């Protein structure tokens, strides 16, 4: 393989789980040697496709796929401006595919190339939602029966507003019956309405119920999803302290991270942050100043495995753990990338898990498996899974913008989702 080169780069759009996915296939001049990567940015799927086909593909053809670091660094600055989610997702698809190729050349799983296993299985958390405390409790008990030891507890999804948009996590959730939102003015524009203050007042009651009924042998997580004003986030983090959350996710928007210092000064509730970050440097001050406990990172939005491993190692030096984003709108290829990083990181914290349906497992043979709340990857070379392009074409994408992103408060103001 002395003259190994990238021969072609293909973009595969498919939606076997009902959610639009972007998969990258990097082919080489070596017969049957190719790699797969995840470049899914569901809300801008065609822009990512164009970024790969029109810019990265001609940039990559003829290059040696083994030179992952050089390709990542040069591709990252090839447009001069950098670190936007469209180009980062495009770059992530390439980066994961190159690691997949590297593993196949070495005849080793990617986790071996990242330092080897730190654990055999990866503990997961699942989403437990419900219209009220009783429904959430029942869903947690069902997860416990399956062996899960961690659950993200929401009441009426984000902000209590529920969702009928299956392009978020392929599931519909009813509104919280415990929240009576404020009235809206006449002629209000369409959107996903929620009441931040009413939602914030309901959450401590949820966890008071859950701890009294389930106890402390189950770890609980809650996602604010940046849906309340920063001062409300401070107050809520303090109110939740007695219930010993595993972590409180995204209490403030990326634009308001200065408020994390105030939260840290007033409560010991652990904080997970960064789902919407697109540059690893956005975590730097939060990690070095001990203002967060978990990096809540969407790996494809920062550019793939290469930067994710670096930020994980940097976090380890400061006692901060990983909690990679694992929603329905990443492909099984992206899930596999998460898990290979989980296996090889000593500062692993927890892994979010969205189950695969039958169609996803058919389109992506070799998907990771789950037993008793733990995920396991296979030991095949590379990332360990493949794509059936014929079957992938049977599940066309829908395109467009998911409705859940148009969040509004009761007076009709468009706010962060």
Which of 225, 298, 325, 340 is labelled catalytic?
225
Across 218-236, b (16+ Cβ under 10 Å) vs e yields: bbbbbbbbbbbbbebbbbb
In the annotation, is 173 catalytic?
no
Which of 158, 173, 193, 243 is labelled catalytic?
158
In the annotation, is 80 catalytic?
no
Q: What angle do CA 221, 235, 210 make, to 5 degrees?
A: 35
DSSP code of residue 318: T
Q: Which residues contact 214 (CB under 8 A, 6 or more apart)?
A: 137, 140, 141, 144
DSSP code of residue 281: G
Q: Hey, how many other C-beta atoms are within 10 angstroms of the C-beta on 32?
A: 7
283 phi, psi to nearest 5 deg: -85, -15
In three-state secondary structure terms, 326 is coil
Selection from 337, 338, 310, 326 nearest residue 97 by Cα: 337
Collect contacts of 114-118 with beta carbons under 8 A, ≥24 apart.
114/305, 114/309, 114/340, 114/341, 114/343, 114/344, 115/344, 116/344, 117/343, 117/344, 118/343, 118/344, 118/345, 118/346, 118/348
Selection from 171, 95, 127, 156 nearest residue 337 by Cα: 95
39 phi, psi to nearest 5 deg: -125, 30
Active-site residues, by number, are: 158, 225
């Amino acid at each position: 393989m002395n003259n190994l080169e990238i021969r072609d780069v293909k973009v595969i759009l498919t939606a076997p789980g009902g959610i639009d996915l972007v998969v990258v296939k990097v082919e080489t001049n070596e017969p049957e040697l190719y790699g797969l990567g995840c470049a899914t940015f569901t809300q801008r799927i065609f822009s990512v496709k164009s970024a790969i086909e029109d810019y990265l593909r001609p940039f990559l053809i003829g290059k040696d796929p083994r030179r992952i670091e050089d390709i990542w660094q040069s591709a990252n600055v090839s447009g001069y401006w950098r670190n936007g989610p469209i180009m980062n997702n495009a770059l992530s698809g390439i980066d994961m595919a190159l690691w997949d190729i590297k593993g196949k050349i070495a005849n080793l799983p990617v986790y071996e190339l990242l330092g080897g296993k730190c654990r055999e299985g990866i503990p997961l958390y699942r989403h437990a939602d419900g219209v009220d405390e009783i429904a959430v409790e029942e869903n947690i008990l069902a997860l416990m029966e399956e062996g899960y030891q961690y659950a993200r507890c929401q009441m009426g999804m984000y902000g209590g507003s529920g969702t009928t948009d299956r392009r978020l996590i392929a599931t519909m959730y009813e509104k919280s019956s415990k929240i009576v939102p404020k009235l809206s003015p006449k002629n209000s524009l369409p959107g996903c309405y929620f009441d931040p203050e009413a939602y914030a007042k309901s959450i401590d009651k949820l966890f008071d119920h859950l701890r009294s009924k389930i106890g402390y042998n189950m770890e609980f997580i809650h996602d604010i999803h940046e849906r309340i004003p920063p001062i409300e986030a401070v107050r809520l983090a303090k109110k939740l302290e007695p219930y010993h959350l595993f972590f409180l996710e995204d209490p403030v928007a990326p634009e308001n991270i200065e408020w994390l210092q105030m939260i840290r000064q007033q409560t010991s509730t652990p904080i997970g942050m960064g789902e919407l970050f697109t540059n690893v440097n956005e975590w730097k001050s939060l990690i070095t100043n001990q203002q967060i406990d978990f990096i809540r990172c969407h790996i494809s939005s920062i550019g793939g495995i290469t930067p994710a491993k670096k930020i994980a190692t940097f976090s380890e030096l400061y006692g901060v753990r990983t909690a990679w984003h694992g929603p329905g709108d990443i492909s099984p290829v992206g899930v596999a990338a998460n898990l290979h990083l989980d296996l090889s990181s000593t500062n692993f914290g927890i892994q979010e898990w969205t189950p695969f349906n039958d169609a996803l497992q058919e389109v992506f043979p070799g998907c990771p498996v789950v037993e008793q709340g733990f995920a396991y990857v296979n030991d095949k070379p590379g990332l360990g899974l493949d794509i059936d392009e014929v079957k992938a074409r049977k599940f066309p994408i829908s395109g467009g913008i998911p409705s859940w992103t148009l969040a509004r408060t009761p007076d009709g103001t468009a706010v962060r989702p």
